[in-house]
Structure 1
């Protein structure tokens, strides 16, 4: 900063000197001009300027005095200058004289002094700058030394940290490799343990399967012994009476065996199944021993009875030979014998349909709710069928028994709840119960799992008395609600399922779930279903002698309008189609989550239905109906049946296509729409080797 200030001062001084010099030049010019003007005016004849001027000495002295008194070098004067060449003097018009050389000399001295001062200032400034620079260089060297030392220190620290980091990484890598090696060793060990455990498990399962298979073979051998024993019994009527008392137990044991067979097919056997089947074998052995003992007693009684009857017959013949017939003694004895037989059947919990000296023993569906007396209506159906000729030409025997049992079950319920249904005091209660059932049943849908579970929970809570109205407050409230729920669901099959077939599956899932918890509800549902559509059994009844058309059509499930006209054929087929689809959907619907019970009405019933239909000779008036129902059953349950029974189901389809269907077409006299659709379905199924899943089928564990 000082250097620049000095330089600026020097430059300022130079400018000032130049101003003085320029003023001096102007002074000369002005003097020369005035001298020229004076010469022209006064006609000067002598030298008045320069060294040879003739100025007198007084003037010179006066000029010297004047120049000492006044310094006008830097002042522009309006006066006129007069130069004397003799003394190199300059004079003005007012008589002032000064020496140019002296001015120049003084000016030079001033300049030199100023230059010297500037130089001194410059030198001083340079010395100061040098000192400052030296100090700055010393500071810079010191700071650079400190920076180099700092950087060296940082670099050393960095190298040490890097070395430590690399060492740490190596240690981490080493530990990681050790952990990986330990993990691989552990995984290898666990794998070996799993393999050993799986091998042990397979061996246990194999041993379990072997043991269960042995027990199952023992059970089936004992069951065959029971069948053979039933054939060797000489009094089938008495044997059936004893068998009826154990029918429910045997049926339950067979269902448990079927469940075990299903677990064997799926590989789901558990050790508890071994204990279960072993207990079943022991229990069945006890039952078989009972049957053997009773069969021996029956055979002995039968032989004794034959001997007694032979003796009575010989006595009668002897009396006839004498002409006296002891009618009063013979008939009462026979009547008492028949009454005793009927009484024994009633005590055994079964009921007999006695027609034309033929006895058909029908075991009850529900041992608690089944009636213990024969139904005149079932006797009339059976009797009329026998009068027509062969009663089993268009009706399967087992199916006919189911049909009769369903009618008797409904009649027993209606008789039991007659007072409750007709009492005005229970009208409001009945209305509230019906409303509580109709709302969730009408809302059943497979839109989501939560929605379907909500409908099930509401119905389940209602049937268990956990929801208002509390149906347990009336003795017959529970059975009334179960009956109404069964009728309502059957009605859904006639209306909802017939128009939207995919809705059969959510309804069926609700039915199966409730059936597990309430077996009597399931029996009521089946009874109402069989009444609305006897073809779900299947039963294809014929019109009996003396039976009106209206009664016959109603027995087939037809509905009459208020004006007495029967419904159209297409509407009838549509309703029956909805009901058979609902029935088939129930057989293929899986159990709920965490339910271990045997399916209350599983896939075997669809197989039995198809087998029963194929055992019935086609009839001209029901060919379209039969073809429609077979097609509905195959569309709903065909995929599951083919998956569960691949070889047998294929044989059944082949039999249906190659033998049964041609007979249907011949009896029908051609092929209507239902027959054409069935033929196309069978051709596609057999050619492709597959039946696709029914539309709307819900996944397992949906509810």
Structure 2
């Protein structure tokens, strides 16, 4: 407690006092000693306040007033006054402290309440935000789900449309493949059917009756195939089944088996006829020998009789001479009997071994070469007549110019060059480069001369265009096939030139004659001799033979002009026959492997589709049987390339179609 304040209160209290002053500046201090009990009592008055203050946890700056410091007075007890003052001060201070504490407590309570309310508001706000966020998220999820459903629906519809379009496209492709497969089988069937029909027409009535079962089956197969083709032509909404191709293949196989059985039966009948003919010939030979022996006996008897007559005549003449010795006997000369002329039999030509050529191919080769030689001999008067030299030159130019321009650039380009050639052979006038006009009818031998000239020119393209560009063979082949249909002699003359350049196309391994030199023999086998009498190099020979084989193969598989029909005069069966025949011949190094490889590369795709597993068996035969035979004679590059090619074909189970093949109906 502040002393100054206490003193002020004491001064105020002294004004009310009636006794003498005990304090003041002019009074001396009076010190009164009090007993210890009073000090204790006084101290006891203060302790409750201190204890109260201590209980209220109020710290106040207090200063104890001892009894020594209080001056004795006559009025009210100073200690009581001090105690009351202190007590009031303490009470005020306690009240202030209590109020302050209460205010603090109230403030803390208010703050706590505010914080709690704020926390509740924040909690509610967060909860509301969470609810709003969840609501927005749910709405967003629903919107996303709706958009996803719409997008999925759109994608599903697009996918379904794509699937339908793809299914339609696949059905169309499948339909085209099925139609193409049946078409190939139909062409093969028609070709085989025509051959079998021709075979039946060539038979006599008795043989046809013996083959009535095969004839009936042939008609049945034709009707079944026609029904299958009609079913494909009618079509419908649904694509044809793939089984149609297998059915067509079965019909072709049945026809092949029918032909095989027919040939077998005909061979048996032919063998029986041969046996009968042989027996009949033996009987006739025995009868002839018996007749000859009888004639010899009669001749000997006649000679004996004649000798007896001559002997009797001689005896009669001798008797007459003895009877009339002076008479000159007439000179009798017995007619000398002319000896019987010896029947000289022309020696038969030695048959060529089948290791060089098959008999049927040799007969065909001889027929072609004979026709060619007859044409060459026939046009010699025109070819050697100098007065027709200019006409021959103009014919050559008329043929060479459009023939050299033949390419597959476009159908119209090919048609224009063909028309120029065909119009000349049809007799139409053609203006030459020198301004004159010629026709093929200007000379009676001009047609054969121009056929020979054009066939030779086509074959010469193998040296220039085809050997360096394999695709160029197909437009030339298309024109050749068309001319073959229109001028049958042209096709045979063309084959003759091909066989002269490459007898391996027959196939024919011409044997060397005893009087031939190696150069002469190689010339007959297709080698060329230069003007300097030098032999053609092997690599150039193989390159030229490759070009010839390409053109030959292209003629087999290339259709001609559409207007002249689909029939091919030199069909795929020629390629099959060539492959089967060359397997039977004695292999030659390099050239055999080169020709077989070129044929397979150009014709393999068509042969595989036409003959199926039979062609695969042929490839296996070449790989497993023919190649070991070829290895005994050939170890060069062509044989190695052929081995690799066969392995590739058999491993991939397919042969790609040759590049540049003209599609059906190209022009």
- Shorter chain as normaliser: what TM range? 0.5 to 0.7
Deviation at 1:623, TM superposition (A): 2.2
Choose the corresponding residue for 1:586, options 555, 570, 575: 555
Does the 8 Å contact 2:479/2:560 carry over to 1? no
- Does 2:621 match 1:655? yes
Per the alignment, residue 330 of structure 2 pairs with none
Choose the corresponding residue for 1:573, options 525, 538, 542: 542
Choose the corresponding residue for 1:646, options 598, 612, 616: 612
CA distance in 2, matches of 1:594, 1:302: 54
Does the 8 Å contact 2:462/2:544 carry over to 1? yes
CA distance in 2, matches of 1:330, 1:229: 45
Deviation at 1:216, TM superposition (A): 8.4
Per the alignment, residue 288 of structure 2 pairs with 309
Does the 8 Å contact 2:355/2:586 carry over to 1? yes
The secondary structure found in structure 2 opposite 1:510 is helix
Does the 8 Å contact 2:482/2:564 carry over to 1? no
Does the 8 Å contact 2:477/2:554 carry over to 1? yes
CA distance in 1, matches of 2:632, 2:224: 40
Choose the corresponding residue for 1:672, options 625, 632, 636: 636
Choose the corresponding residue for 1:455, options 407, 417, 439: 417
Per the alignment, residue 529 of structure 1 pairs with 498
CA distance in 2, matches of 1:448, 1:430: 31
Per the alignment, residue 531 of structure 2 pairs with 562
Summarize the Cα distance change of 1:445–1:260 in structure 2 as closer, same or farther, 3 Å threshold: farther
CA distance in 2, matches of 1:665, 1:437: 45
CA distance in 1, matches of 2:465, 2:231: 40
Structure 1: gaps of 5 or more residues: 1-207, 233-255, 271-287, 336-353, 357-381
CA distance in 2, matches of 1:528, 1:644: 28
Aligned-residue CA RMSD in angstroms? Answer: 4.5
Normalising by structure 1, we get a TM-score of 0.50
Per the alignment, residue 374 of structure 2 pairs with 412
CA distance in 2, matches of 1:317, 1:268: 74
Deviation at 1:222, TM superposition (A): 4.3
CA distance in 2, matches of 1:311, 1:329: 21
The secondary structure found in structure 1 opposite 2:589 is helix
Does the 8 Å contact 2:465/2:472 carry over to 1? yes
**More contact order relative to length (CA 8 Å, sep ≥ 6):** 2
Structure 2: gaps of 5 or more residues: 1-185, 211-217, 233-265, 305-336, 431-437
CA distance in 2, matches of 1:260, 1:429: 53
The secondary structure found in structure 1 opposite 2:632 is helix
Choose the corresponding residue for 1:441, options 397, 403, 410: 403
Per the alignment, residue 492 of structure 1 pairs with 461
Deviation at 1:307, TM superposition (A): 5.7
Summarize the Cα distance change of 1:324–1:657 in structure 2 as closer, same or farther, 3 Å threshold: farther
Does the 8 Å contact 2:470/2:550 carry over to 1? yes
Choose the corresponding residue for 1:519, options 488, 513, 516: 488
Summarize the Cα distance change of 1:641–1:264 in structure 2 as closer, same or farther, 3 Å threshold: farther
Summarize the Cα distance change of 1:266–1:487 in structure 2 as closer, same or farther, 3 Å threshold: farther
CA distance in 2, matches of 1:702, 1:457: 15
- Does 2:521 match 1:552? yes
Summarize the Cα distance change of 1:327–1:554 in structure 2 as closer, same or farther, 3 Å threshold: farther
Normalising by structure 2, we get a TM-score of 0.53
Equivalenced residues, count: 397
Per the alignment, residue 692 of structure 1 pairs with 656
- Does 2:577 match 1:598? no
Deviation at 1:616, TM superposition (A): 1.4
Per the alignment, residue 543 of structure 1 pairs with 512
**Deviation string for 1:174-212 (max 9, x for gaps)?**
xxxxxxxxxxxxxxxxxxxxxxxxxxxxxxxxxx9xxx9
Does the 8 Å contact 2:482/2:560 carry over to 1? yes
The secondary structure found in structure 2 opposite 1:629 is helix
The secondary structure found in structure 1 opposite 2:546 is helix
CA distance in 1, matches of 2:664, 2:529: 40
Per the alignment, residue 171 of structure 1 pairs with none
